[in-house]
Amino acid sequence: MNAEKPIRLLLGPQRPVVNLDSALARSGIGDGPIGVISAAWQEAEGDIDGMQRLVKNPLSDLLLYQKAEALFAADTRLHEAYRRRQEHLKEQQRLYRLRLRQLKIAARATLRAEGEPAVLAAERRHAISQLRALDKHHLRQVDKIHARFDNDFNVDCNTALAEHTSAFAEALSRFDSLLITGGNVVVLINRLRLFGLGPQLQRKNIVAWSAGAMVLADRIVLFHERMPQGRRDAEIMCRGMAIVPDTVLLPNASGRLRLRDSLRIGLFDRRFSPATCVALDNGSYLLFEGETLRDSGAAKRMTRNGKFKRVRAA
């Protein structure tokens, strides 16, 4: 492994078509053992036999989810504080959503409006900047909630957490490469944060799909416009691991977004700019060496005018 420029292989959902095996074989990661983080599967964590049949690298699950559950069961004070933090985050997200809805309505109406081009352009810019300001504010508030928890519960003051964290550090040191599965992105990022795995992930080759890929970006954006209750605006949830910077990763975008609604897609792109919003559908992949995109397949990026273009390596 080139420690300066580790490989990051990001994939779309692995259903109905699996491309983990073919993309991994092309990635240059080699056939050494790979540590698996399948915490996003929650109770099904560790059920990796099917995956093992696909790839020749020996796989070993780190069991983050199970170990976090065991930690919570053993340390009720930590668990209670964690639960309280989650309640605060939920409340913060609710209020953000409330404000976001109004700003999105205003931004869409401004983008649809007709009139004097110079006046319109200024108003559109401002409408989008208000959205971006709200996103920024929300992220700051989320950071504060996390910081309070991290200040009260860290490896210096919690023995059980320190033991688990050091066990994970030890386990991680046995692998040059990690594989992070899709699943529940909230559960996944929370477990990665709890055990402070960010810095170690920075140095590893990583293969990740869907939720696993999302946590590697600098911001985790939740999105789903085909919910039974109707469209829901994309929301920033929290910071990611910032391993793949300036990118918003959108697994199964064709299933979750209304891709033909160019006004919404254009607004999506401008809201998160300068980050590139990338649709990672089934069968797609992005291959980075360090921060440089080396190869891609079927991945598409949003454009300012609401269309999609193929992502091409430099």
Q: Where along the sequence are the contacts to another protein (CB under 8 A)?
A: 13-15, 40, 43, 182-187, 210-211, 214, 222, 224, 227-229, 232, 251-252
CB of 23 vs another protein, minimal distance in Å = 17
Gyration radius from the chain CA atoms: 20
Give the contacts of 79 (CB within 8 A, at least 6 positions apart): 71, 72, 73
CA–CA separation, 197 vs 165, rounded Å? 8
Q: In the numeric block, which tokens belong to residue 119?
A: 């006046």
SS3 180: strand
Local structure of residue 217 (DSSP, 8 states): B
C-beta closer to another protein: residue 97 or 304: 97
Judged by CB, which is closer to another protein: 40, or 63?
40
- Kindly tell me which of 111 and 234 has the beta carbon lying closer to another protein: 234
Closest distance to another protein from the beta carbon of 176 (Å): 26
What distance lies between CA 152 and its chain's CA centroid? 26
Nearest to 48 by CA among 62, 68, 29: 62
| Least distance in angstroms from the C-beta of 209 to another protein | 9
Minimum distance from CB of 59 to another protein (Å)?
Answer: 18
Q: Encoding tokens for residue 157?
A: 């003051």
Cβ 68 to another protein shortest distance, Å: 16
Nearer to another protein, 128 or 286 (CB): 286
Q: Closest CB to another protein among 94 and 112?
A: 94
**CA angle 100-102-146, nearest 5°?**
20
Q: Is the Cβ–Cβ distance between 255 and 289 less than 8 Å? A: no
Q: How many residues does the chain have?
A: 314
Tell me the two tokens of residue 257: 């977004």
Q: How far is the CB of 251 from another protein (least distance, A)?
A: 5
Residue 65 vs 153, nearer CB to another protein:
65
**Least distance to another protein from the beta carbon of 15, Å?**
7
| DSSP assigned state of 59 | E
Q: Is residue 247 within 8 Å of 272, Cβ to Cβ?
A: no
Task: Tell me which DSSP letter residue 195 carries.
Answer: T
Distances (CA, A) of 228 to 97, 114, 188, 232, 256: 18, 32, 25, 10, 12
Nearer to another protein, 14 or 177 (CB): 14
Q: Return the number of the residue (106 or 275) whose C-beta is nearest another protein.
A: 275
Q: Closest distance between another protein and the C-beta of residue 256, in Å?
A: 8
